[in-house]
Amino acid sequence: MIEDDLKHLFEAEEIPAPSENARKVALNLAVAEFEKNKKNEKTFQGNGLWHRLIGNKPIHADKQRSEKMSFSTKKVIYGGLATACVALLVYNVATPMLSTIGMTDADSQKGEFQTISTGGIRVDLFKENKKAEAEMVVADAAAPQAVHEAAKLSRSGAYPTSAPVMTQNMVEGRGIASSMPAEMDMISRQQQEFGRDKFEDFEEGSVKAVKADPISTFSIDVDTASYSFARSSLDRGVLPQKDSIRVEEMINYFDYDYPLPDSKQQPFSTNVVMKPSPWGDGKKLMTIGIKGYDIPKTAMPNSNLVFLLDTSGSMNEQNKLPLLKQSISMLLDTLKPTDTISIVVYAGSAGTVLPPTKVADKGAILMALQNLSAGGGTAGAEGIRQAYQLAGQNFDKNAVNRVILGTDGDFNIGITNEEELKDFVEREKDKGIFLSVLGFGRGNYNDAMMQTLAQNGNGTAAYIDNINEARKVLVEEATKTLFPIAKDVKIQVEFNPATVAEYRLVGYETRALKTEDFNNDKVDAGDIGAGAEVTAIYEVTPVGAPTSVDPSRYAPQTGADSSVPSTAGELAFVKVRYKLPNENESKLITTSVLPDMNQGTAPQYQNLQSETDWAVAVASFAQILKGGKYTGQMTYDDVLNLANKSKGADPFGYRAEFITLVHKAKTAAGLEAQPSNGNGGDDVTIQPYPYPAPMSTR
């Protein structure tokens, strides 16, 4: 700033009557800068406030210093005047800022002040506690970086705020309060992405004694969210949270080359493979693989899809709303011109932004998408209600009627209770309208809510962490996601106590059903989409092998139970119950399991063995990530060895990516590090500090 500019600034600026409190804030800032410069004789060589005010570039040579000494001395004088000037502008603007948020000097005297220290500069903040939507005042004349840090604190909850008021333009001499730019808002949220994702807490499945509990019943699961969330964590160099690991979702992320069923009237085949377990001596693994009937593209029914999109403030990050819009754009390329698309959005309130529109009018759909932006609270329940209402108005009994929710799962306005939302989507499911969920982002991700909605809405839950995952879910596997071939699919396995002593179901803890639920057609279960695969693994201990549970003192120790038939040495009896999409009465498929199931040299047997090995490698990795309670001495290297041997055909590179993730897990940290302040220094530290701050502590 040259002399003429400074003179013009003084003449043009009208200085209102000062506030005593604002004067103290400004004076503290000015003194803090003075003390910092006093302690560092080379401050004029730096890049802080002093440099910004006097416009002086670093001097790196004695010759340059000598030539510019007289000019620098003159500029130092004006720099000091400018510092005092800007400090005056701060306290004169502070009072109007307080008034804009309903605060008075009397309020501020009662408030709680804290101090941000960043880059060697202290800035006092006022924390106003008397109302829920408080605002934050930041005096930033001496520290634009402090503005960024204050915004970061407000987003983390240290200073609750919906629209921070800042004076970032004061450094330029205008004395004008302005709102934080959207870019800074987004960055500050991205820097708080640790420890706030929500997952259901569940116990890992335990070993069962066959004589005490011979029957295992569960609902199938084709969700994949757990795998892609784990990948997102490992890509950051951090191990995923244990509760985020659902072993069945890790296994079922991959395609398996199981034999196709012959007819859509019996929409899937059941394949059972027995092999030795790598997790314990003497144990065996029984793998049940289900392959769904694949609908030819020419026979695909029409779709009535309602996209329910979260446009709340928490979605204002590049890997959230922008990625969600891009994902839907890719899905449009897989749909037929006769399919119908609607869009409902929700933030502080909910509304329809695109009425039912044929995919043939793709331009109108894309324009509606591109016009979406994020901001406000999250009235998710109201959005769900409106989306189902729109789907009902356009209901087609011969089409797939589905609501697709795209969100980070943060419902904080209206109905937020999971049980209430669960009851609602269950009732709508019975009307023929299903619900699928696409999760986005980190730091605000509510997996527990999305699992509840998808499981009870006859839909799937996927987590989209990058554009490749969006392509996988919504383009390559669109038929599996959108077009159900069977609903309420349940599996029940009864083990023969004459041949099996113990068993353990690997995963499916959140899908467990009561024994009597299997034959009850009113009990909801999972769905299978066209061409999808489902894999379940049991670890079984044959009679005579070492067991995890001590044998009963009083029960017979050897020999078969004469009350139980043991024809041909069966190990177990597998039952699968399902309903066709438009029917409400279930059908039954049964399979007997023998010790040498699918053993042989035929190509189909060898292929099943290889596919099973891949499933075991993934299951081993998932269990190790959860703590390895039941995997014995197996290590990441053992997983890599098994995966490399059974990788097989990998047209899209998903199996190769898995092998890379195992390598990353070997060196991943147990806890994500908190990011720095973006200035190359230490993280922001907040220390309680009474206001006004004594100058002697500066």
Query: In this structure, is residue 370 part of a structural domain?
Result: yes
Q: Are residues 518 and 653 in the same domain?
A: yes
Q: If we measure between CA atoms, which residue out of 220, 246, 260 comes closest to residue 492?
A: 220
Q: Which amino acid is at 106?
A: A
Residue 149 has pLDDT above 50, yes or no: no
Q: How confident is the model at residue 187, as a pLDDT? A: 41
Using pLDDT thresholds of 50, 70 and 90, give the confidence band for residue 547: confident
The answer, yes or no, to whether residue 186 has pLDDT greater than 80, is no
Q: What is the mean pLDDT of residues 37-51?
A: 44
**Boundary (domain end) residue, out of 429, 454, 482:** 482
CATH number at residue 475: 3.40.50.410
Of the listed ranges 267-276, 433-442, 462-471, 669-678, the least confidently predicted one is 669-678
* Domain shared by 25 and 85, yes or no: yes
Number of compact structural domains in the chain = 3
pLDDT of 587 reads 94
Residue 206 reports pLDDT greater than 90: yes
| Claim to verify: residue 271 and residue 186 sit in the same structural domain | no
CA distance linking residue 610 with residue 604, whole number of Å: 10
The reported pLDDT for the residue numbered 546 is 84
The residues facing 503 across adjacent strands are 208, 540
Decide if 383 is inside a domain. Answer: yes
| Exposure class string for 6-22: b at 16+ Cβ within 10 A, else e | beebeeeeeeeeebebb
pLDDT at 155: 40
SS3 69: helix
CA 462 from chain centre, in angstroms, equals 10
The runs of H, that is alpha helices, within 157-224 are 182-190
434-440 β-sheet, strand order: 350-358, 340-346, 303-310, 400-407, 434-440, 461-464
State pLDDT tens for residues 396-451. Answer: 988 999 999 998 876 654 555 677 788 888 888 888 899 999 999 887 788 888 88
Same domain, yes or no: 322 and 452:
yes
The answer for 441, left when phi > 0, alpha when psi is -120 to 50, beta otherwise, is left
Please state, for a pLDDT cut of 70, what percent of the chain lies above it.
62
Q: What was the pLDDT predicted at 37?
A: 56
Quick one: average pLDDT of 457-469? 91
The predicted pLDDT at position 41 comes to: 47
Give the pLDDT of residue 470: 93
For residue 510, give every residue at least 6 positions away whose Cβ sits within 8 Å of its Cβ, in sequence order, or none: 200, 202, 246, 451, 455
* Rounded average pLDDT over 197-208: 89
SS3 string, 343-387, reads: EEEECCCEEEEEEEEEHHHHHHHHHHHHCCCCCCCCCHHHHHHHH
Position 235 scores a pLDDT of: 95
Band of the pLDDT at 11, cuts 50, 70, 90? low
In this structure, the strands spanning 303-310 and 400-407 are parallel
User: Is the domain of 477 the same as that of 596?
Assistant: no
Beta pairing class for 284-292 and 268-276: antiparallel
Average pLDDT over residues 326-333: 93
Residue scoring higher pLDDT (321 or 680): 321
CATH code at 568? 2.60.40.1230
Q: Are residues 284 and 331 in the same domain?
A: no
Structural domain contains residue 197? no
**Greater pLDDT, 195 or 541:** 541
Helix/strand/coil (H/E/C) assignment for every residue in 400-464: EEEEEEEECCCCCCCCCCHHHHHHHHHHHHHCCCEEEEEEECCCCCEHHHHHHHHHHCCCCEEEE
Position 201 pLDDT exceeds 70: yes
- Pairing label, strands 587-593, 340-346: unpaired
Characterise 129 by phi-psi region: left (phi > 0), alpha (psi -120 to 50), beta (else): alpha
Measured between alpha carbons, how far is 417 from 419 in angstroms, rounded to an integer?
A: 6
From the list 646, 538, 605, the residue with the least C-alpha distance to 287 is 538
The pLDDT score that the predictor gives to residue 93 is: 43
Domain co-membership, 347 together with 378: yes
- How many CB atoms are located within 10 Å of the residue 532 CB? 27
Give the span between the Cα atoms of 137 and 91, in whole angstroms: 12
**Is 461 within the bounds of a domain?**
yes
Query: What pLDDT score was predicted for residue 159?
Result: 36
Paired residues of 381 in beta bridges: none
Is 357 among the domain residues? yes
Residue 381 has pLDDT above 90, yes or no: no
Please, which pLDDT band fits residue 554 given cuts at 50, 70 and 90? low
Q: What is the pLDDT of residue 77?
A: 45
On the question of pLDDT at 114 being above 60, the answer is no
pLDDT at 625: 96
Residues 238 and 372 in one domain: no
Asked whether residue 154 carries a pLDDT value surpassing 90, the answer given is no
Given a cut of 70, is residue 108 above it in pLDDT? no
Q: pLDDT category, 682, cuts 50, 70, 90?
A: very low
pLDDT digits (tens, 9 = 90+) for 487-538: 999 999 999 999 999 999 999 999 999 999 999 999 989 888 888 999 999 9
Examine the pLDDT at 292 and tell me if it is beyond 50.
yes
- DSSP, collapsed to helix, strand or coil, labels residue 248 as helix
Per-residue model confidence (pLDDT) at position 676: 47
Per the structure block, which two tokens stand in for 282?
Answer: 């003497």
Which tokens in the block code for residue 247? 């072993």
Can you tell me the distance from the alpha carbon of 617 to that of 619, in angstroms, rounded to the nearest whole number?
Answer: 5
Instruction: Return the top range by mean pLDDT from 18-22, 190-194, 329-333.
Output: 329-333
pLDDT exceeds 90 at position 80: no
Reply yes or no on whether the pLDDT at 566 is more than 60: no
Helices marked H in 474-600:
478-482
pLDDT score, position 548: 81
Contact 304, 391 (CB under 8 A): yes
Determine which of 291-300, 333-342, 488-497 has the lowest per-residue pLDDT on average. 291-300
| Domain match, 278 and 339 both | no
What is the domain range of residue 612? 208-295+484-549+563-661
Q: Output the CA angle 92-95-99, nearest 5 degrees.
A: 150
Q: Is 693 a residue whose pLDDT tops 60?
A: no
Residue of 313 and 376 predicted with greater confidence: 313
CB neighbour class for 200 (10 Å; exposed up to 12, middle 13-18, buried from 19): middle
Is the domain of 117 the same as that of 50? yes
Nearest to 1 by CA among 86, 80, 78: 78
Banded model confidence at residue 221, pLDDT cuts 50, 70, 90: confident
Q: Which of 15-19, 214-218, 236-240 has the lowest mean pLDDT?
A: 15-19
346-367 confidence digits (pLDDT tens): 876 678 999 999 999 999 999 9
571 in a structural domain: yes
| Spatial CA neighbour of 275 closest among 612, 684, 566 | 612
The answer to whether 273 and 612 are in contact (CB under 8 A) is yes
Q: What is residue 194's DSSP assignment?
A: S
Q: What is the pLDDT of residue 200?
A: 85
Mean pLDDT of 76-94: 47
Q: What is the mean pLDDT of residues 81-97?
A: 45
Residue where a domain terminates, one of 482, 497, 519: 482
Token pair of 275 as six digits: 């092999």
CB 407 within 8 A of CB 430: no
pLDDT at 408: 84
Q: Cβ(425)–Cβ(461) under 8 Å?
A: no
Least reliable range by pLDDT among 59-63, 132-136, 512-516: 132-136
Dihedral sign (CA 173, 177, 183, 185): positive
Q: Per the domain annotation, does 698 fall within a domain?
A: no
pLDDT for position 346: 86
CA distance 454 to 261: 26
Instruction: Give the integer Cα–Cα distance in Å for 698 and 694.
Output: 8
Contact (CB, 8 A) for 142 and 86: yes
Domain boundary among 167, 192, 217: 192
Mean pLDDT of the chain: 74
Select, from the ranges 208-217, 267-276, 683-692, the one with the highest average predicted confidence (pLDDT): 208-217
Indicate if 302 and 285 belong to the same structural domain.
no
Give domain status of residue 689, yes or no: no
Do 493 and 429 fall into the same domain?
Answer: no
Q: Give 526 or 382, the one with higher predicted confidence.
A: 526
Q: Out of 26-30, 46-50, 691-695, pick the least confident.
A: 691-695
Q: How far apart are CA 354 and CA 103, in angstroms?
A: 41
Please give the residue that has the higher pLDDT: either 171 or 431. Answer: 431
Sign of CA dihedral 650, 652, 653, 658: negative
At residue 567 the predicted structure's pLDDT band, cuts being 50, 70 and 90, is low
Q: What is the pLDDT of residue 535?
A: 96
Q: Is the pLDDT of residue 21 over 50?
A: yes
* Mean pLDDT lowest among 86-95, 135-144, 198-207, 488-497: 135-144
**Cα(529)–Cα(458) distance, rounded to whole angstroms?**
11
The terminus-to-terminus CA distance of the chain in angstroms comes to 27
Query: Would you tell me how many other CB atoms lie within 10 Å of the CB of residue 504?
Result: 21
The pLDDT value recorded for residue 653 is 94
590-618 residue pLDDT tens: 999 988 776 554 566 778 899 999 999 99
> Quick one: pLDDT at residue 60?
45
Residue 694, pLDDT score = 38
